[in-house]
A = this chain, B = another copy of it.
Amino acid sequence: MMNEKNREYIEACLKCMNACNYCYVSSLKEYDLGMLKECIRLNRECADICTFTAEALSRDTAFGDEIRELCAKICDACAEECGKHEHEHCKKCAEVCRRCADILRDRRAAA
């Protein structure tokens, strides 16, 4: 039982939250921690806004457009940062973030 209108957005955000938190926990265990600082910060920031967005959309917020755009922007930043690293969790996280941003902006044609 969930908000049908926003289902695709909500599911993308929750998937992205999980991927970002997974990458965050994994990054904190890596040896090259110094290189992953920005990744750690952005993982948590992206997880936070994805959770916030999913919650707001599941309550059918009147500010859906603005919240989705903010969330997509932070997903972009996290994808860009994670995309710089060779760790498997970073590469997968970048992919999930990019896909989430596309869905939030209604650009999922090619997916």
Q: Which residues of A contact B (CB under 8 A)?
A: 1-3, 10, 14-15, 17-19, 21-25, 28-29, 33-34, 37, 40-41, 44-45, 47-49, 51-52, 54-56, 58-63, 66-67, 70, 73-74, 77, 89, 92-93, 96
Contact = CB atoms under 8 A, between A and B. Distances in A.
A47 B24 CA distance: 16
Contacts of A66: 70, 73
Given A28-B37, A28-B41, A63-B70, 15 more contacts: A1-B96, A2-B19, A3-B21, A17-B58, A24-B59, A33-B34, A41-B59, A44-B44, A45-B59, A48-B55, A48-B56, A51-B54, A52-B52, A63-B74, A70-B70
A37 B1 CA distance: 21
Given A63-B73, A63-B74, A92-B1, A52 B48 contact: yes
